Amino acid sequence: MANITIDGVEYDVEQLSDNAKAQLASLQACENKIRQLQAELAMVQTARTAYGMALKGELPENGTVPAANNHDAESGGTH
């Protein structure tokens, strides 16, 4: 006999109507999806941080770009 508590009131799931059980199942599916998306978001945020750190490691220390690359960037990379 499973119980759920909603707004401080405890309910016996087996005593709920079929429609209430369906709504409960949908609510639980939403909660599961939110947890999944939160885990995915944490993973992507971690990757973003790692990419940012890797990019910083590739940048010149003095903050300038060599003249040849600077010219290419200004002209859109075409000659």
Question: Residue 11: which residues within 8 A CB-CB, separation 6 or more?
Answer: 3, 4, 5
Residue-wise pLDDT for 8-67, tens only, equals 999 999 999 999 999 999 999 999 999 999 999 999 999 999 999 999 999 998 888 766
Q: Please report the DSSP string for 28-50 in residue order.
A: HHHHHHHHHHHHHHHHHHHHHHH
Give the separation between CA 44 and CA 48, rounded to whole angstroms.
6
Where exactly are the structural domains of the chain? 3-74
Provide the mean pLDDT of the chain.
89
pTM: 0.66
Question: Residue 14: which residues within 8 A CB-CB, separation 6 or more?
Answer: 1, 2
Give the separation between CA 55 and CA 77, rounded to whole angstroms.
20
Give the separation between CA 1 and CA 56, rounded to whole angstroms.
57
